[in-house]
């Protein structure tokens, strides 16, 4: 019979095997998982094992079959979605946590780094004085922030929405370019997806402050309870940054919670060329940032920051559980310092959000910043922003390319054009599919003022100028071939 305890003592050897397999993967010389010659599905699709194969065989299967047929996301040329492959520091830290501290509870070095890394992250992103909590991604991070906003708004009028539910019609104000998780958050929080009042944007994709003012006045006349104004610090569509100063001042004037969604773009504040666009961030009551985007963390690491975590405690605290109460010497939940007794749960992050069980995410963020520092992060952000600006400058000079949205951060929206092709949307859609099938340079598409655009977004630590040059060459090569084919068909 297989002895699970026999694994002990083999970890060093097995991790070395796994590390070698991952190193080979990161050379990106292997065929794509969809390559016709790959038979990994047949290898993996086996009946439920009644007897185990042992840890050595599991490791070999990971190295030989699973890893080589993984996702294209870590490739340097992948620029479709705002996510990336983990850096080495992130991989090491998350592996260490999974073994040495599988939960963020108790006063351990990992729990200590949970809070320290939140302080570091807040300071680096211009959120001085804010307190944070980690979660799995921007979806949950926005949910937690808007949960705090809901608690704040209803407590002002004598209701406790967390305890008693939402009893009045509410309104949340966000731009028409806001991430769709804002609507989902409102649905989950009982405010309703239709409580979102989408505010129009200008041609640059930035919310119009005057339109926000008008919506606030109109909704107050209808008796709706204003919950929050949501500003974008880097939209997922084009990277646009809302006029945060103006929005924050309007929110303050109307005594409404001001939330900044910086899941993708908040690290952009490190680039001196665009840092002025983040003025007004100090007016925010809450903000989010996803280290698993621009900072290089493995997927599953986001942070919500608020001025007062006790508000989150009132919004998300759990009812007592018999099996937990009295199990440890739990100190006052209002405490936010590092001073806890050795048998304490530590800072009750589980009462500041929606997750009870949670991995230690802070050690990952600590490792990322500890490795290269703020200056290293700054250079990465500036490099990626410069890559987007390079595409725009090149496209403006080339007769067969057109910029559809000037880059603010590391996103550039452009397309291939040809004067004798009427349906440019169709042409660029076909061009995009060819790019994806080549599996080398992989942007996404989006629509900018109704026109289909190619949309590379650079956030990966391994991405550099070579990916920009390669993408531009591929777009011109494929676009020219497709345009010639369309002309010949005509």
- pLDDT of res. 105: 77
Do 187 and 38 reside in the same domain of the chain?
no
- pLDDT of res. 340: 45
**Residue 106 Cα to chain centre, angstroms:** 27
- 78 lies in some domain: no
Measure the CA angle with vertex 37, ends 35 and 41; round to 5°: 80
* Dihedral sign computed on CA atoms, order 104, 267, 232, 72: negative
Question: Distance between CA 365 and CA 371 in Å, rounded?
Answer: 10
- Which CATH number goes with the domain that contains 414? 3.90.1150.10
Could you give the C-alpha distances from 428 to 205, 435, 443, 451, 479, in angstroms and in order? 22, 10, 12, 10, 8
Do 311 and 408 reside in the same domain of the chain?
no
Do 420 and 357 reside in the same domain of the chain?
no
Q: Which residues contact 205 (CB under 8 A, 6 or more apart)?
A: 175, 177, 235, 237, 238, 240, 405
Nearest to 27 by CA among 75, 61, 83, 59: 75
Do 476 and 399 reside in the same domain of the chain?
yes
Letter string b/e over residues 446-483, b meaning 16 or more CB atoms within 10 A of that residue's CB: bebeeebbbbbbbbbbbbeeebbeebbebbbebbeebb
Do 109 and 234 reside in the same domain of the chain?
yes
Question: Distance between CA 360 and CA 96 in Å, rounded?
Answer: 10
Question: Distance between CA 337 and CA 107 in Å, rounded?
Answer: 12
Of the candidates 351, 368, 385, which is a domain's last residue? Answer: 368
Do 407 and 358 reside in the same domain of the chain?
no
128 half-sphere exposure, CB direction, 13 A CA radius: 3
- 76 lies in some domain: no
Do 437 and 299 reside in the same domain of the chain?
no
Look at the chain and count its residues. 490
Helix residue ranges per DSSP H, 296-398 = 309-316, 362-397
Q: Is 184 in contact with 193 (CB distance < 8 Å)?
A: yes
- Which CATH number goes with the domain that contains 121? 3.40.640.10
**Residue 215 Cα to chain centre, angstroms:** 29
- 150 lies in some domain: yes
Which pair of structure tokens corresponds to residue 226? Answer: 């204003």
Do 293 and 354 reside in the same domain of the chain?
yes
- pLDDT of res. 3: 54
- 75 lies in some domain: no
Measure the CA angle with vertex 59, ends 53 and 60; round to 5°: 85
- 84 lies in some domain: no
Of the candidates 368, 390, 422, which is a domain's last residue? Answer: 368
Do 41 and 100 reside in the same domain of the chain?
no
Do 151 and 266 reside in the same domain of the chain?
yes
Could you list the pLDDT tens digit for every one of the 490 residues in the chain? 445 555 556 889 999 999 999 999 998 887 777 777 778 999 999 999 999 999 999 999 999 999 999 988 899 998 988 888 899 999 999 999 999 988 887 778 999 999 999 999 999 999 999 999 999 999 999 999 999 999 999 999 999 999 888 988 999 999 999 988 999 998 999 999 999 999 999 999 999 999 999 999 999 999 999 999 999 999 999 999 999 999 999 999 999 999 999 999 999 999 999 999 999 999 999 999 999 999 999 899 999 999 999 999 999 988 765 555 555 555 554 444 444 444 566 788 888 998 888 889 999 999 999 999 999 999 999 999 999 999 999 999 999 999 999 999 999 999 999 988 999 999 999 999 999 989 899 999 999 999 999 999 999 999 999 999 999 999 999 999 999 888 777 5
Do 130 and 36 reside in the same domain of the chain?
no
Range of the domain at 245: 91-368
Number of domains observed in the structure of the chain: 3
- 172 lies in some domain: yes
- 381 lies in some domain: yes
Do 333 and 211 reside in the same domain of the chain?
yes
- pLDDT of res. 401: 98
- pLDDT of res. 336: 47
Instruction: Collapse the DSSP code of 474 into the 3-class scheme (helix H, G, I; strand E, B; otherwise coil) and give the result.
Output: helix
- pLDDT of res. 119: 97
- pLDDT of res. 328: 55
- 77 lies in some domain: no
Residue 365, φ and ψ in degrees, nearest 5:
-65, -40
Of the candidates 326, 345, 368, which is a domain's last residue? Answer: 368
């Amino acid at each position: 019979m297989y002895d699970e305890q026999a694994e002990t003592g083999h970890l060093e050897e097995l991790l070395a095997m796994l590390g070698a397999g991952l190193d080979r993967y990161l050379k990106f010389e292997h065929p794509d998982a969809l390559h016709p010659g790959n038979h990994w599905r047949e290898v993996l699709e086996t009946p439920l094992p009644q007897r185990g194969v042992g840890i050595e065989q599991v490791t070999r299967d990971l190295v030989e079959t699973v890893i080589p047929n993984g996702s294209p996301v870590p490739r340097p040329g992948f620029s479709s979605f705002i996510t990336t492959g983990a850096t080495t520091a992130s991989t090491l830290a998350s592996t260490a946590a999974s073994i040495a501290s599988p939960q963020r509870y108790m006063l351990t070095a990992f729990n200590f780094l949970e809070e320290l890394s939140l302080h570091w992250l807040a300071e680096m992103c211009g959120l001085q004085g804010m307190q944070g909590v980690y979660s799995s991604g921007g979806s949950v991070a926005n949910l937690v922030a808007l949960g705090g906003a809901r608690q704040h708004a209803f407590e002002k009028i004598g209701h406790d929405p967390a305890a008693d539910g939402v009893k009045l019609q509410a309104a949340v104000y966000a731009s028409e370019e806001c991430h769709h998780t804002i609507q989902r958050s409102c649905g989950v929080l009982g405010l309703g997806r239709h409580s979102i009042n989408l505010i129009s944007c200008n041609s640059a994709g930035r919310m119009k402050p005057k339109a926000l003012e008008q919506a606030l006045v109109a909704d107050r006349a209808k008796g709706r309870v204003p919950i929050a104004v949501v500003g974008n610090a880097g939209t997922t569509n084009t990277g646009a940054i809302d006029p945060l100063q103006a929005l924050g001042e309007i929110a303050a004037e109307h005594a409404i919670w001001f939330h900044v969604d910086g899941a993708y773009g908040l690290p952009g504040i490190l680039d001196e060329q665009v840092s002025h666009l983040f003025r007004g961030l100090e007016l925010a009551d809450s903000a989010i940032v996803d280290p698993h985007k621009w900072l290089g963390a493995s997927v599953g690491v986001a942070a919500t920051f608020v001025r007062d975590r006790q508000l989150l405690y009132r919004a998300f605290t759990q009812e007592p559980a018999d099996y937990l109460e009295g199990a440890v010497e739990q100190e006052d939940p209002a405490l936010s310092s590092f001073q806890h007794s050795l048998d304490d749960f530590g800072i009750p992050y589980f009462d500041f959000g929606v997750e009870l069980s949670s991995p230690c995410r802070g050690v990952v963020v600590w490792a990322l910043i500890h490795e290269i520092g703020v200056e290293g992060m700054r250079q990465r952000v500036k490099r990626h922003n410069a890559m987007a600006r390079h595409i725009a400058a090149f496209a403006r000079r080339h007769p067969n390319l057109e910029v559809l949205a000037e880059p603010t951060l590391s996103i550039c929206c452009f397309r291939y054009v040809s004067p004798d092709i009427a349906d440019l949307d169709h042409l660029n859609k076909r061009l995009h599919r060819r790019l994806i099938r080549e599996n080398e340079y992989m942007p996404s598409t989006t629509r900018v003022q109704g026109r289909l655009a190619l949309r590379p977004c650079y956030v990966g630590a391994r991405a550099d100028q070579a990916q920009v040059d390669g993408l531009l060459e591929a777009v011109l090569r494929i676009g020219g071939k497709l345009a010639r084919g369309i002309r010949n068909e005509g």
